[in-house]
A and B are shown apart, each in its own frame.
Chain A
Amino acid sequence: MIWLIDLLLLLFLIVCALEATRNKDLLSVVIIFSSYSLVMAIIWQQLNAPDIAITEAAVGAGITTMLFVAAISKTSRWEE
């Protein structure tokens, strides 16, 4: 039954990636990208790569999200 959860996570990943390219609100894109990284961390764990999962959760969902938010606060929120 675990393959069903994996399939759901992968589908969520694809939806997140498509929405991140389509959305014009860059702050929403950053939050979507953060959830993408969190689900990707779970998938790394399912692929038996726990150290990559720790890196993805800390760097992908934590540090780069705040870096993107800081960059957006310096520039414009909406994509033209």
Chain B
Amino acid sequence: MTEDIIVKTTARLMTPFIQMFGLYIILHGHLTPGGGFQGGAVIGASMILLAVVYGLEEGEKRMSHDLSTVLESSTIVYVLIGFIGIAAGVNFLASGAAGIPLGRPGDLLSGGMILALNIVIGFKVASTGKTLFYTLAKEDEG
């Protein structure tokens, strides 16, 4: 935690824009470069920035460990979406062969299940990056 007003103000002003950029990368994963992992890493980096500047307790208040646990567990949604392919009679995670449209360039909602998979991976990677830093930076409890 720092007392420098320049660092504090810059972090407070930049964090919403960094997180918005990460959300943009996640949501446009099937249209432009990037995807779930890249956008999730950007969002996780913004959470680490908040934790470095305002201290671990403040960051824990913004996003608690229980919320991280829920987000990590949401990966089960990924597996359930993958079973759509098997339910349609083709391979696990199959999209085009199962009759789901593969998307048109420039159309956000035309990607079928790729958008949902990107969102799940984005949340997972963001909370993983945040949890990695918190686990390493926290004071040892005995």
Where the two chains meet, the residues of A that have a C-beta atom closer than 8 Å to any C-beta of B are 50-51, 54-55, 58-59, 62-63, 66-67, 70-71, 73-74
Contact-residue bracket for chain B: 10 to 19
Would A63 and B41 count as touching, CB distance under 8 A? yes
A-B contact pairs, 9 of them (CB 8 A): A50-B34, A51-B35, A51-B38, A55-B38, A62-B41, A62-B42, A63-B48, A66-B133, A66-B137
CB distance from A37 to the nearest CB of B (A): 12
Would A63 and B45 count as touching, CB distance under 8 A? yes
Where the two chains meet, the residues of B that have a C-beta atom closer than 8 Å to any C-beta of A are 25, 33-35, 37-38, 41-42, 44-45, 48-49, 52, 129, 132-133, 136-137
Would A71 and B34 count as touching, CB distance under 8 A? no
Would A51 and B129 count as touching, CB distance under 8 A? no
Interface SS majority for chain A: helix
Task: Please name all residues of chain B whose beta carbon is closer than 8 Å to the beta carbon of A62 when the two chains form the complex.
Answer: 41-42, 45, 48-49
Task: Please name all residues of chain A whose beta carbon is closer than 8 Å to the beta carbon of B45 when the two chains form the complex.
Answer: 58-59, 62-63
Question: When chains A and B are docked, how far (Å) is the Cα of A54 from the Cα of B49?
Answer: 17
CB distance from A52 to the nearest CB of B (A): 9
Q: Which residue of A lies closest to B37 (CB)?
A: A55
Would A63 and B35 count as touching, CB distance under 8 A? no
Closest 5 CB pairs of A and B: A62-B45, A58-B41, A50-B33, A51-B33, A70-B137
Known: A54-B25, A66-B48. A59 touches B133 (CB 8 A): no
